[in-house]
Amino acid sequence: MIETRDLTKTYGDLYALNRLTLKLEPGDVYGFIGPNGAGKTTTMRILATLLNPTWGEGFVCGHSIHTNPREIRRAVGYMPDFFGVYDDMKVIEYLEFFASAYRIGGEARRRKCDEVLDLVDLAFKREALVTSLSRGMTQRLGLARVLLHDPQVLLLDEPASGLDPRARIEMRRLLKKLRGLGKTIMISSHILPELADICNKIGIIEKGQLLFNGDVAEAIRQVRQNPVVRVGVADGRDREAADLLEKHPSVLSVEPCNDPPCLRVTLAQGTIDPGPLADALVGAGFRLRLLMEEEIDLEDVFLGITKGITS
Ligand SMILES: Nc1ncnc2c1ncn2[C@@H]1O[C@H](COP(=O)(O)OP(=O)(O)OP(=O)(O)O)[C@@H](O)[C@H]1O
Ligand SMILES: [Mg+2]
């Protein structure tokens, strides 16, 4: 759906984007994460055909950014990080204005505008002035606007920036709804945890370089060299279980922990499946009441990858 090869943008000596190569399949929701100045907006503007790369190739829905920008604009809904709204315009007038620009006319236009207003939960603000909307509502209106021509691909540049926690939750709900419609979506953010549960793939970019490209579980694995699992056994036999686990070939260390009461077991590097631990315990007559991988703070994953801490 989206593919780039060695996409590069320079401004003088500065590489705003340095040989970006990535691929999104239909229905992917791709979280594009990086600090300020990483190259997120540059990438999205190039894919939306609003900015020419210095070199490299980009394809959206099979169309080249160099030779078929018109087809791409038809297939893409691009929501910029900042967009102007017009004074003295009602919400519905604003949408109708853009619908006309997409050459949607007559009865279809009214229907389409009401449909996208419903989708973003703004029907109740239909007759309100655009300037009277809160930041969260304005963002939702921006999203409604890019949905008017029913694009297959959405490029959303920090749709949740500047929103309060409740508005962020609403935005996430809305993004999940769009995911459910089968859209291919690229969303940028500074914050990995915010996107982790919406996206099936993520890319981490810094100073124009893609440092990581894959799914969230892979990112965690790359940063956490030794997986940690929590193991709880019944009947107060923690000490005995610890003795057994310490002898297991895939266990590096075992320590007690209190919250909840269990054993914290650090596994050898490269161990993915904690199943054999369970087998060993059950085989030795223990009753297992807990076995779970310890969660890692996603913010630490992000910091780990951007600092180059990988196994
Ligand atoms: N028109 C321009 N002229 C010169 N440098 C530019 C221009 N546009 C962007 N840059 C530079 O390119 C780099 C990437 O910018 P970009 O806007 O893509 O980052 P970003 O990841 O979107 O950051 P943010 O999180 O702040 O939105 C930055 O160093 C920026 O200063
Ligand atoms: Mg940006």
Tokens of 164: 């309060």
Nearest 5°: the CA angle 135, 204, 78 is 45
In the CATH hierarchy, which fold is given to the domain comprising 2-89+134-214? Rossmann fold (3.40.50)
Of the bound ligands, which one is closest to the alpha carbon of residue 36? 1
d(CA 14, CA 26): 33
pLDDT of residue 308: 59
Helices 91-101, 135-147: crossing angle, 10 deg rounding: 30
Give the pLDDT confidence score for residue 310 in this predicted structure. 43
Is residue 195 in contact with ligand 1, taking CB distance under 6 Å?
no
Mean pLDDT by 10 residues, the chain (311 residues): 96 95 94 91 96 96 94 93 81 93 88 93 94 90 93 94 85 90 93 82 92 85 81 91 92 88 88 86 93 79 69 36
Provide the terminal-to-terminal Cα distance of the chain, rounded to the nearest Å: 31
> Which numbered ligand comes closest to the C-alpha of 80?
2
Q: Is 50 in the pocket of ligand 1 (CB under 6 A)?
A: no
Q: What are phi and psi of 113, to 5 degrees?
A: -65, -45
Per domain, the residue ranges of the chain are 2-89+134-214, 225-295
Looking at residue 261, its pLDDT comes to 86
Measured distance CA(25)–CA(44) in Å, rounded: 17
Q: Please give the structure tokens belonging to residue 219.
A: 């990112």
Task: State both tokens at 100.
Answer: 């006309």
The preferred substitution site among 4, 8, 11 for testing ligand 1, maximizing ligand atoms within 8 Å of CB, is 11
User: What spacing in Å lies between the alpha carbon of 203 and ligand 2's midpoint?
Assistant: 15
CB 236 within 8 A of CB 214: no
Compute the distance from residue 34 Cα to the ligand 1 centre, in Å: 12
CATH of 225-295, one of 3.40.50.300, 3.30.70.100, 2.30.40.10, 3.30.565.10: 3.30.70.100
The total of other beta-carbon atoms located within 10 Å of residue 124's CB is: 10
pLDDT tens digits, one per residue of 56-114:
999 999 999 999 999 999 999 999 988 777 778 999 999 999 999 888 888 899 999 99
Burial class, 180, CB count within 10 angstroms (exposed 0-12 / middle 13-18 / buried 19+): exposed
Residue 41 beta carbon below 6 angstroms from any ligand 1 atom: yes
Q: How far is the CA of 51 from the centre of ligand 2 (A)?
A: 14
39 C-beta closer than 6 A to ligand 1: yes
CA 91, distance to chain mean position in Å, is 28
pLDDT of residue 196: 80
**In the beta sheet, which residues pair with residue 152?**
none
Q: Which atom of ligand 1 is nearest to the CA of 44?
A: 18
What is the C-alpha to C-alpha distance for residues 265 and 274, in angstroms, rounded to an integer? 10
